[in-house]
Structure 1
Amino acid sequence: MWSNEPRSLPDWIEDAYQILVSEMPDQQTDFSHDQAQDLLLGAETFPDESADAEYAIERLLDSGWLYEVDGELRITDPEN
């Protein structure tokens, strides 16, 4: 069920979302889990452990900040 409640995640996971948003040319761009992980691990402000990147991606998916279509990730509209 959708809610108007603000979506809240730990700051470092929200930072991961901002990294992905800033690296994608538009929100309709599909990218793989591996590409998302590489983007996060390449960012100076993100922890450099692959387990942290995978955890952040999974939390973003679980919380609706990212969604998956045919095995590819997409960014949910940051305004919502």
Structure 2
Amino acid sequence: MVSNETSPLTPLAQEALDALARALPDERELTYEQAYVVLAEEEDLERPAAEDIIERLYNKGHVYEVEGKLRLTDYGSE
């Protein structure tokens, strides 16, 4: 059976998304380098793993890119 909803994030991906959300500056966007640093410091992820997690978040629509910077999609806007 195929669902119209996206599959849930893995626990690691959800933790990474939460860490990125907590680290967002007032501008509400992060450079890729800032995101990699956050994931290294908060989630102990090496660069290749951080790149993979960010790509997964992007592919699932949780983050998007504007002019080379990452923004979170409606994170915690409820």
If the length of structure 1 is used for normalisation, what is the TM-score?
Answer: 0.78
Percent of pairs with identical residues: 36
Q: Distance in 2 between matches of 1:4 and 1:64?
A: 14
Give CA deviations for 1:16-66 in whole Å, capped at 9, x if unaligned. 00000111145x5221111101011011xx233111111111111111100
Consecutive unaligned residues of structure 1, counting only runs of 5 or more, are none
Consecutive unaligned residues of structure 2, counting only runs of 5 or more, are none
Which residue, out of 54, 63, 69, partners 1:72?
69
Runs of 4+ in 1 over 4 A off after TM superposition: none
If the length of structure 2 is used for normalisation, what is the TM-score?
Answer: 0.80
Q: Distance in 2 between matches of 1:35 and 1:72?
A: 9
Matching of residues 11-26 of structure 1 within 5 Å: 11-26=11-26
1:6 to partner: Cα distance: 5.2
| Structure index of larger Rg | 2
Q: Distance in 2 between matches of 1:70 and 1:30?
A: 10
Paired letter, 1:70: E
Question: What's the RMSD between the two structures over aligned residues?
Answer: 2.2
Question: Counterpart of 1:40?
Answer: 39
Paired letter, 1:5: E
Which residue, out of 45, 48, 52, partners 2:49?
52
Aligned length: 75
